[in-house]
Amino acid sequence: MNGIDEHAQIREQLPLFVAGALDPQTEAQITRHVASCPTCAAELERWQLISGGLRRLPTPQPSPSLVARTHTAVAEQIAERAEQRQNRTVLILLVCFSWIVTIAGWPLFRFITGGVLSLLDIRFHQAWLVFASVSGLTWLAGGSAAVLLSARRQQERRFAL
Amino acid sequence: MGIDAAVLQLRRGDLAALSTLIARYQNRVYRYLMRLVRQPAEAEDLFQQTWLRVAEKIRSYDPERNFDAWLFTLARNLAFDHLRRIQPSSLDEPVDDNAPEETRLSRLATSDPGPRDQLLAGERARHLAAALETLPVIYREVLSLRFEEEMKIEEIADVLGTPLSTVKSRLRRGLEQLRRTIEASYGKAK
């Protein structure tokens, strides 16, 4: 390797040298070279002025109101998610309970109304229709109430902001 | 409260932990976003979105991973999505218009004064900040992560989702372009 090649190679590495992005071997090689080469040492100094300047750049800071707004927004999001999780759990439990009541209610319905239905001459498939209609209406009413309550809570939360 | 403890508590929905994390990282995250988008109003919006994203994704955060890298990745993704929407070409990898060989040779021969004088005073530091703003975003971000956030090269690669060689290449090109800009401005000022 001739002298010019070596200088060129060293100078090529200087940006990464000041960025601390070289392996220890290359760093040691550059350190040795600049110790004995004033021209490359001066070049290194220029790069160090740039890297030092970058490290000391003024830091733009967020305003206190931005931080406060951010904190509020995140806190609301966390609270909302916690509420959604809780609502989901309650909903699953309610659905399970409703199905159990519905399924278990059929024999009870037959037992209680069997005599009355026979007096009215209502056959089995008609009784099933009555039971299904009552159950369906009950589910529909429950679902509508849940949706309305949820909408109202969301509206209240919006007004609270 | 340490960062790890704060992260664990935030996963449980503890708001005090959130305050700890925001207080610890607010300046760094905001500075990084400012370097990327350059406009305070946009940086403020992205700052808020970043912390909302943190609260949203904290349960999927792997505690084995470096939290700084994870946080800056979220901020970066939001900023780049934003930049992609408003100015898609700003994210393109710039063509290196100065052949490295030519640059090296001209530097060997040059005896022009460097940017030393510009950087000694506060006014000159602002000049450097202005020069930094003229760089493409992919160079601004690696320079900011390396010199301002003092991240290791491996951490920067983690944030960018690129190989180490790409990070080094962008660092080198970013510094070279920054120096060219400063020297060109200095020459004009003379």
Q: Which of B118, B172, B177, B186 has the highest number of chain A CBs within 10 A, making it the mutation to test binding with A?
A: B172
Give how far B51 is from chain A: nearest CA, Å. Answer: 7
Of B47, B148, B172, the CB nearest to A16: B172
Query: pLDDT tens for residues B19-53?
Result: 889 999 999 999 999 999 999 999 999 999 999 99
CATH fold of B97-189 reads Arc Repressor Mutant, subunit A (1.10.10)
pLDDT band at B96 (very low <50, low <70, confident <90, very high): low
Of A16, A62, A74, the CB nearest to B168: A16
Average pLDDT, integer, range A123-149: 79
Q: Which residues of A touch B (CB under 8 A)?
A: 4, 7-8, 11-12, 15-16, 18-21, 42-43, 45-47, 49-63, 66-67, 69-71, 73-75, 77-78, 81-82
Report the complex ipTM: 0.78
Find the closest chain A residue to B179 by CA distance.
A50
pLDDT of residue A156: 75
pLDDT at A1 over 50: no
The mean pLDDT value of chain B amounts to 83
B171 contacts A47? CB cut-off 8 A = no
Question: For residues A1 and A62, which has the higher predicted lDDT (pLDDT)?
Answer: A62
Average pLDDT, integer, range B136-158: 95
Of B55, B56, B104, the CB nearest to A8: B104
A8 contacts B56? CB cut-off 8 A = no
Interatomic CA distance for residues B159 and B146, integer angstroms: 12
The token pair at B150 is: 């003092």
pLDDT of residue A149: 84
Interatomic CA distance for residues B122 and B130, integer angstroms: 13
Of B54, B100, B171, the CB nearest to A19: B171
Chain B residues close to A15, C-beta within 8 Å: 171-172, 175-176
Question: For residues A105 and B165, which has the higher predicted lDDT (pLDDT)?
Answer: B165
Number of A:B CB contacts under 8 A?
A: 132
Question: For residues A50 and A159, which has the higher predicted lDDT (pLDDT)?
Answer: A50
Query: pLDDT tens for residues A54-88?
Result: 998 988 999 999 999 999 998 888 888 878 888 88
Query: Contact at 8 Å (CB) between A39 and B109?
Result: no
Query: Contact at 8 Å (CB) between B175 and B143?
Result: yes
Find the closest chain A residue to B140 by CA distance.
A54
pLDDT band at A40 (very low <50, low <70, confident <90, very high): very high
DSSP B89-129: GGGSPPP--S-HHHHHHHHHH-----SHHHHHSHHHHHHHH
B125 contacts A70? CB cut-off 8 A = no
B51 contacts A57? CB cut-off 8 A = no
Interatomic CA distance for residues B49 and A66, integer angstroms: 12
Query: Contact at 8 Å (CB) between B19 and B6?
Result: no
Secondary structure letter of residue A121 according to DSSP? T
Chain A residues close to B51, C-beta within 8 Å: 70-71, 73-74
pLDDT of residue B162: 94
Of A7, A15, A52, the CB nearest to B171: A15
Find the closest chain B residue to A11 by CA distance.
B104
CA B90 to chain centre: 15
pLDDT band at B71 (very low <50, low <70, confident <90, very high): very high
pLDDT of residue A115: 63
The token pair at B128 is: 């450097």
Element (DSSP H or E) covering residue A96: helix A64-119
Interatomic CA distance for residues A102 and A134, integer angstroms: 10
Element (DSSP H or E) covering residue A74: helix A64-119
The CATH class of the B3-88 domain is mainly alpha
pLDDT of residue A159: 65
CA B87 to chain centre: 18
Chain A residues close to B129, C-beta within 8 Å: 57-58
pLDDT of residue B105: 35
Question: For residues A96 and A108, which has the higher predicted lDDT (pLDDT)?
Answer: A96
CA Rg, chain A, in Å?
39
Average pLDDT, integer, range A130-144: 82
Chain B residues close to A81, C-beta within 8 Å: 13, 55-56
pLDDT band at B2 (very low <50, low <70, confident <90, very high): confident
Domains of chain B, residue spans: 3-88, 97-189
The token pair at A8 is: 């060129």
pLDDT at B149 over 90: yes
Q: Which of A49, A72, A76 has the highest number of chain B CBs within 10 A, making it the mutation to test binding with B?
A: A49
- pTM recorded for the entire structure: 0.73
DSSP B161-187: TS-HHHHHHHHHHHHHHHHHHHHHHHH
